[in-house]
Amino acid sequence: MRTIVCQEPFVFNIKNAEKPKCHHGEALVRIKRIGICGTDMHAFRGNQPYFSYPRILGHELSGIVEKVNCDHSNIKVGDRVSVLPYMECGECSACRSGKTNCCSALSVLGVHEDGGMREYITVPVDHIIETNNLTLDDAAMIEPLSIGAHAVRRAHLRKGEKVLVIGAGPIGLAVMSFAALEGASVVAMDINEERLTFCENQIGVLDSIVPNEQSRETLREIFNGELPETVFDATGNVHSMNSSFQFPEQGGKLVFVGLVKEQITFSDPEFHRKELTLFSSRNATKDDFNYVKESLEKGRINISKFITHRSTFENLTSTFNEWLKRDSNVIKVLIEIE
């Protein structure tokens, strides 16, 4: 079995390994698609929180079930599936309250334990989503879309709510898509004008802006004199996150979808003056995965344009560095294994 290991920052090695054994309660999945996300890129660069080397990356996964070792399961051999990569304990306070995405002992495939940059992986059967009505591409995109859907669910948006999404990467695009699906009026903000054009043409945002000293005034012009009621920051950039407190309206909400190693700082008097509500949004739940799956099946979300780059498994190690460059215009890379 071919396996790609991130040995240390900026070093990938291709290794041969034995096909994993399928223990009771697990399914053996032949990986067919691997999405490359910001977490993978941060890990490759050496600046991903909660990370250690060596590690097999990859948690945006789809494939075909080759074996099921479980007494009672709706998953069958031959099913096309998406993988829920968040391994929870099922016993802590968060798990008991249904918040498995922030389990106190959470282990994420490709981050805390080896992920899916390999030809086969075994996964607990209850962490597999059957996707026979979707393409392998769509099935691999469920995970990043679910992160956006979860953030939107956390924010409890109302129809017509004024929303700003900072960061037009894949997660930001997912947030925009599901916020729009809730009937929100969405504005995109990013330093990359090509991505903003993509947001206008493919996501249908109300407007888009490049951040500068006049951003607050621009937002007021767009929103008829008011600031957005909810702001999502999906940049994973400490400077953006620190400055995002200026954008919500009085009594508004700020949702951090991105994650950084650094400290976030803000003016407490300004925070209290506005009586802001600050949320973090981490990962997603199985309910989010099923909601995204249904949205894709019913054509409510079209992600075909999100996938801008493709690679074979064999070429990943030689092309990964190119995707890190800003002028590569990468939105989403999918690795195909035949």
Which tokens belong to 103?
Answer: 């389990």
Give, in order, the Cα–Cα distances in Å from 139 to each of 34, 74, 84, 157, 201. 10, 17, 11, 26, 24
Check whether the bond before 54 is cis (ω within 30° of 0): yes
- pLDDT, one tens digit per residue, over 167-225 is 999 999 999 999 999 999 999 999 999 899 989 988 889 999 999 999 999 999 999 99
DSSP H or E segment with residue 61: strand 60-69
In angstroms, the CA 195 to CA 180 distance is 17
Q: What 3-state DSSP class applies to 310?
A: strand
Rounded to 10 degrees, the C-alpha dihedral 281/287/293/299 comes to -80
Spatial separation of the C-alpha atoms in residues 39 and 310, rounded to whole Å: 18
Let me know: does 266 contact 242? Beta carbons within 8 Å. Answer: yes
Q: Which of 16-20, 69-73, 142-146, 215-219 has the lowest mean pLDDT?
A: 69-73
CA distance 165 to 116: 30
Distance CA 304, CA 310 (A): 12
Q: 325 pLDDT band (50/70/90 cuts)?
A: confident
pTM of the model: 0.94
Domains (range + CATH), the chain:
2-132+306-336 (3.90.180.10), 147-280 (3.40.50.720)
